[in-house]
Amino acid sequence: MANRHLSRSIALQTLFEWDFNGCDDSKIKDILKRNLREFAPGLEEVSFSEKLIDGVIENRRKIDRVIKKAAPEWPINQISIADRNVLRLGLYELLFGDKREVPSKVAINESIELVKTFGGDSSGRFVNGVLGTVYRELGGSEQEEKMPKEKLGGAVVYRKEGKNFFFAMVHDVFGYWTLSKGHIEGGEGVEEGTVREVKEEIGIDVEIGDELGTNEYVASDPEKGKIKKVVIYFLALTKDTELKLKKTGGLDGAEWFKMGDLADLKIYDDIKFILAKAIKKLK
**CATH number of the domain bearing residue 126:** 1.10.940.10
Can you give the pLDDT at residue 222? 62
Model confidence at 224, pLDDT cuts 50, 70, 90, reads low
Looking at the structure, do residues 7 and 138 belong to the same domain, yes or no?
Answer: yes
In this structure, the answer to whether residues 132 and 155 fall within a common structural domain is no
Mean pLDDT computed over 242-267: 90
- Percentage of the chain beyond pLDDT 90 is 60
- Whether the Cβ atoms of residue 155 and residue 233 lie closer than 8 Å to each other: yes
Q: Are residues 152 and 123 in the same domain?
A: no
**Which residue, 91, 119, 142, sits at the end of a domain?**
142
CATH of the domain at 269: 3.90.79.10
Q: Please indicate, yes or no, whether residues 158 and 228 belong to a single structural domain of this protein.
A: yes
Same domain, 28 and 83: yes
Q: What pLDDT is attached to residue 105?
A: 84
Q: Do 276 and 235 touch, CB atoms closer than 8 A?
A: no
Do residues 190 and 274 share a domain?
A: yes
Q: What is the DSSP string of 222-264?
A: TTTEEEEEEEEEEEEE-----------SSEEEEEEEEGGGGGG
Q: What is the pLDDT of residue 228?
A: 77
Residues 35 and 153 in one domain: no
- How far apart CA 253 and CA 7 sit, in angstroms, is 29
- CA torsion, points 226, 103, 97, 69, in degrees to nearest 10? 90
Q: How confident is the model at residue 44 (pLDDT cuts 50, 70, 90)?
A: low
pLDDT value, residue 1: 38
**Residue 146: its pLDDT value, please?**
61
**Judgement on whether residues 130 and 154 belong to the same structural domain of the protein:** no
- Separation between Cα atoms, residue 132 and residue 66, nearest integer Å: 12
Nearest to 94 by CA among 137, 124, 126, 32: 137
What are the residues whose beta carbons fall under 8 Å from the beta carbon of 51, sequence distance 6 or more? none
Question: Domain end: 121, 142, 163, which one?
Answer: 142
